[in-house]
Homo-oligomer: A and B are copies of this chain.
Amino acid sequence: MLVHTIKEVRDNVKQWKKEGLTVGVVPTMGALHAGHASLIKKAVEKCDKVVVSVFVNPIQFGPAEDYDKYPRTLDADVKLAEGIGADIIFAPSPDEMYGKGQRLSNDTLTYVAPPYFYVNKLCGKTRVGHFDGVCTVVMKLFNITQADYGFFGQKDAQQFIILNKMVHDLNVPIELIECPIVREPSGLALSSRNKYLDEKGKVDALALSQILNNIKACYNKGITDISALKETSLKFLNENHDLEYLEFVDKDNLEDKTKADDNTLVLIACRVHGVRLIDNILLK
């Protein structure tokens, strides 16, 4: 069932809770692909009732980012989510989520602010304010749905670690479930932003997963020196790539690693033909 208002979600949730049913929430920005489908499937398996939110959240986009052109495919999203067994697809307008006429700034709106240490690195370094916007909207969705479980993709690994920290620090009564990255047969990690790529772009985009797989293969052969591991990636990059970062951090707390080990998460962000893509791999 497609609904657009907070009240409709709340009325349903209230009834479900009365019946003692568990609720799962899958927060998305729509443009659903097989990666999202895997999250919804997992939620349907684990929970009695599932809410999939479809909301392109303005406060997590910077002024120079792609908020306006971000793909919006609500009809297809509803079909996909209902096909898997989602009970509610919640697609609010920005006015419904933030209040009509509400200015969207720290001056006028309550934010959930994740720790600087988690935010001032990796994607947060260039996407200033992004994770504040993510935490704020996700906290709203958790409160609206009062979900017992929240489902997120490992694709956005930094986001998951930050949301888990939020849940811990603010004692949010929910458990977060991280689901593996879904990839095309070529290795390309699924992303709604892949729609911005043409055929040539999709080929060059393979560099991200190739770099990560190659690093893991080298690590498995015994190389733990991070500079050496980084160097192996150079051969995959060409003039169509603009590497933003390639970092080795602890999978739980995002602390920089001095040597690669089994707890190391390797993350990459790279512009490919101007399209910003991310990917990551756990060395274990």
Interface residues of A (CB under 8 A from B): 6, 10, 17-18, 20, 98-99, 106-117, 135-136, 139-140, 143-144, 146, 165-166, 168-173
Contacts and interface: CB of A to CB of B under 8 A. Distances in A.
A140 B171 contact: yes
Contacts of A108: 115, 117
Given A98-B169, A110-B113, A111-B112, 18 more contacts: A10-B173, A106-B115, A106-B116, A107-B116, A107-B117, A109-B169, A110-B114, A110-B115, A110-B168, A110-B169, A112-B113, A113-B113, A136-B170, A140-B169, A140-B170, A140-B171, A143-B171, A143-B173
Contacts of A168: 99, 110
A170 B139 contact: yes
6 contacts: A106-B115, A108-B115, A109-B169, A110-B166, A112-B170, A140-B169
Contacts of A99: 168
B171 A110 contact: no
Contacts of A18: 20
A10 B174 CA distance: 12
Nearest to A114: B110
- Name which of A18, A99, A110 has the most chain B CB atoms within 10 A of its CB: A110
Contacts of A172: 143
A66 B1 CA distance: 54
A16 B72 CA distance: 42
Give 7 nearest A-B pairs by CB, closest first. Answer: A110-B169, A143-B171, A113-B113, A110-B166, A107-B116, A111-B113, A140-B171
Contacts of A98: 169
Contacts of A106: 113, 115-116
A282 B17 CA distance: 40
Nearest to A97: B171
